[in-house]
Amino acid sequence: MGGSGMRAVALAAIGVIVLAAGTTWWALRGPAGDAATAAGAKAVDAPDPSNEGLRVSVTGMPTFDAGAVDDELRIATHATVLLRDVEMYQWQEQCVANGCAQRGAWSASLIDSSTFKEKTGNRNPATLPFGSRMFTATSVRLRGFSIEPAVLAGVAARPRPASAGELPPNLAAIFRDDGGALYSGEDIANPAIGDLRVRFRVSTDAVVTLSGVQRGQSLVATAIPD
């Protein structure tokens, strides 16, 4: 299994519960029949050599040394995870029995206009200047356990308003504020092909319960074979 596949498996095998406002919510769960659930793990308060190799669960507020920072747009946070969501306004083709029509639409992925059935001359940009990404804090811990911050992506996520004034001068000249989002065009009500819309979300300032296998000072998942 490749590195990215192992990472996906590892994240899928860690149980995450958010305890907020009296509710319990599963963000990630183990596959059916797997013991990777908080209910099937030994509850602990800190790493203990006697639990080495055992499945444990720990509850608390994640801490870190430095918050997540968008290293391209220079948006800084005091958060475990910063999620950047990017959309571009592009031509989109929709075909039905009586023909095809092309219209502008926001999309988080590139739309290849060379594949359009109707050759109208409408062309989309070939690349995104920058795409959606996840940024994480450094040295994330939970009650003394070192944890992979990506496992917290989306947990208790909330919008993180951004303004053009936070951007480097070259990008501040391109973007304008749009209700907490960043917009690269002239008129958000009438976007043009190639315009960008950027939003941010942050996680997590909630108490979480993580379950996994104790490996030294780390809480990790067990890889699941193909």
Helix (H) or strand (E) holding 60: strand 55-60
Phi, psi of 220 (to 5 degrees): -130, 165
Tell whether the model's pLDDT for residue 103 goes beyond 90: yes
> pLDDT value at position 221?
60
Q: What is the pLDDT of residues 116-154, one digit of tens each?
A: 999 999 999 999 999 999 999 999 999 999 999 988 887
Instruction: Tell me the β-bridge partners of 84.
Output: 133, 200
From the number of C-beta atoms within 10 Å of its C-beta (0-12, 13-18, 19+), residue 31 rates as: exposed
pLDDT of residue 40: 73
Instruction: Check whether 13 has a pLDDT greater than 90.
Output: no
Range 163-175 average pLDDT: 95
Contact (Cβ atoms closer than 8 angstroms) between residue 117 and residue 93? yes
Checking phi first, is residue 123 left (phi over 0); if not, alpha (psi -120 to 50) or beta?
beta
HSE-up of 166 (CA within 13 Å, CB side)? 18
pTM: 0.79
- 154 contact partners, CB below 8 Å, separation of at least 6: 27, 81, 83, 203
Which tokens in the block code for residue 22?
Answer: 């009296």
Burial 179-197 (b: 16+ CB within 10 A, else e): eebbbbbeebeebeeebbb
Among 207, 175, 200, residue whose Cα is nearest residue 188:
175
Mean pLDDT along residues 100-123 = 95
